[in-house]
Amino acid sequence: MGARDKLRNYFISNVGKVLKTQRLRNVAGISEYGRRIRELRDLEGFQIKTHVDRADLKPGEYILETLDQKPIISRSISPQLRNEILERNGYTCQLCGAGPGDPDPFNPHRKVRLHIDHITPVSQGGIDDKDNLRVLCSACNQGRSNVQTPTETALNIIAKIRKLPKSGQREIFGILKRKFEIKA
Ligand SMILES: [Zn+2]
């Protein structure tokens, strides 16, 4: 059982009681118990309060007020992290290879937009970690695209091409066109 699971069980079986840091650290078995408690609060909606929320609590005291979980408010990813993921994925959808402004495969009058997607969904405990984030286009993000996913090699090369200025992209297009165009 992971630290977060142990803490969740402990809070649930002590609902309404003030719990102290020392005990929670022992239950979690790790020094990062504070982070796991924040995840229970922010990712799972458990109403765990501290001295920041309640004047009657001292620093280092926690209380799970109720077993009711608040609906999760989807937290926005910071602009820095968003840019980092976009840059890393070369502004390219990691499922279909689309880039910003490419036509929406299901609505040619619209263009796809890029989203930052959680690989493990937040509802299943996925966090805003670089390893858990990737770029998806609006079509794939809504599960509408059924385009065959390009190979990783192709995705990497598309990402590189997309970073070139338009003239460079045209040059590559021209080369491939000459190579593959069927001559009448
Ligand atoms: Zn896509």
Picking from 74, 75, 69, the residue whose alpha carbon sits closest to that of residue 8 is 69
CA of 30 to the centre of ligand 1 (A): 39
**Model confidence over 115-159: pLDDT tens digits?**
899 998 887 888 888 999 999 988 888 776 666 788 989 998 988
CA of 108 to the centre of ligand 1 (A): 14
Per the CB < 8 A criterion, the answer to whether 167 and 144 are in contact is no
Residue-level pLDDT at 144: 66
pLDDT-based confidence at 45, cuts 50/70/90? confident
Its pTM stands at 0.52
How far is the C-alpha of 37 from the C-alpha of 106, rounded, in Å? 42
Specify whether the backbone of 34 is left (phi greater than 0), alpha (psi in -120 to 50) or beta. Answer: alpha
How far is the C-alpha of 79 from the C-alpha of 128, rounded, in Å? 12
How far is the C-alpha of 136 from the C-alpha of 99, rounded, in Å? 9
- H/E stretch holding 61 reads strand 61-69
CA of 174 to the centre of ligand 1 (A): 24
Residue-level pLDDT at 50: 93
CA of 44 to the centre of ligand 1 (A): 28
How far is the C-alpha of 34 from the C-alpha of 50, rounded, in Å? 11
Tell whether the model's pLDDT for residue 71 goes beyond 80.
Answer: no
pLDDT-based confidence at 21, cuts 50/70/90? very high
CA of 165 to the centre of ligand 1 (A): 22
Tell whether the model's pLDDT for residue 87 goes beyond 60.
Answer: yes
CA of 169 to the centre of ligand 1 (A): 20
Which tokens is 68 given?
């009711």
Contacts (Cβ under 8 Å, ≥6 apart) of 54: 63
